[in-house]
Every structure is written in C-alpha cells, then in structure tokens.
Amino acid sequence: MLIIPEEFSAQISSFAPLFAKKVFNHAKVLLMGSLLITGRRTVCSALRAMGLQQEPQFHKYHRVLSRAKWSAYQGARILLELLVDQLLPHDEPLVFGLDETLERRWGRKIKARGIYRDAVRSSHSHFVKCSGLRWISLMLLTPMSWAKRVWALPFLTVLAPSVRYCQQQGKQHK
C-alpha cells in the first residue's frame, strides 16, 4: 500500500470520488510517480519512479487510463477548485487562458488527425500547413509571488478534431 506524504494527502484524496476504490489506489501510484519523474510521463516511467518496475500486475496501471470508468471533466473541475483554493486570494477575479497545440503524430490508428495552420512556422506573409492532432488547453492564469510573474496552470485539455473528421464520423463539429 502506498503511503502518501501529509502535504499531498488532502489534495489527492479529493479525487477519490472519481474512481472505484481499487482503481484509485493505482491512480495514486501513477500520480505520485508522475510527480517524481523527469522527462516523458508514461505509465512505465511513473512505475519505475515508484520502484515498481518489476510489478507483475503492471497492466492494471495502464487500465487506469484506458479502461477504468472516470470522468476527465469532473477531474478538471476538482483540480480547478484546488488551484483556486490554494493559489488565489478570495477577492481576486479568475482569469483564464486558452492555448491551441498541434501534436504532430502519425500512425494507422490515429483517426482524428487533420490539417491545420502551423502557428509556430507561419507568419503574416507565409502560411504553413501541418498534419496532426489539435489540442485545446484551458488554463488558470495566476500570479506566483515567488516567481514574480503570472503562471498558466492547465486544468483541462481536450482534443479538437477537424471538420472533415467530424463529418466522416457523422458528428457535429464543435
């Protein structure tokens, strides 16, 4: 059983209603492992950081993300409430930011890929198109006193498929 430091236990336990009890135990291990690792945040690297690289039941940790029933939207709401409670003074207004990111990924199984304007390589006079997955992140903008600048803390990221993909799936494009 994982023992969580007191500094994190209250925040992590607020996510418990999202998961079944057994799934939440695996989710806690993944969360703590993802806080400890540097580099790519994968399930395997999180398990390595927690000293569970030889775990015979490692597939159960992968199932937290692939098969377990939980709502990312409810998790984003809980995370936003924690961020507001912990970081913002109660008299400050909430300021949000949106960011669109293009993930250049290829493969047979990637269906929602589309062709978009590449904001990094394009300019006012030069238009560059790129194929990939478009993600939109919603962030809370909050000043950090120790950093002396405003930080953008993402709490919700969603896939924004192309118009063509939505038409092929028979769905309304949003």
Q: Tell me: do 164 and 114 sit in the same domain.
A: yes
Residue 114: inside a domain: yes
d(CA 53, CA 143): 38
The set of long-range contacts for 79-82, using a CB threshold of 8 Å and a minimum separation of 24, is 79/155, 80/140, 80/155, 80/156, 81/14, 82/11, 82/14
Residue 71: inside a domain: no
What tens digit of pLDDT does each residue of 80-139 get? 999 998 888 788 889 999 988 887 877 777 777 777 777 777 788 888 787 778 889 999
Residue 107: inside a domain: yes
Does the global pTM surpass 0.75?
A: yes
What tens digit of pLDDT does each residue of 24-64 get? 888 888 888 888 888 888 888 988 888 888 888 888 888 88
Tokens for 91? Answer: 């008299």
Q: Where in the sequence is the domain holding 49, given as residue range(s)?
A: 6-66
| Total count of domains within the chain | 2
Q: Tell me: do 94 and 164 sit in the same domain.
A: yes
Q: Tell me: do 137 and 95 sit in the same domain.
A: yes
d(CA 170, CA 79): 33
Report which of 44, 41, 29, 169 is spatially closest to residue 111, judged by C-alpha positions.
Answer: 169
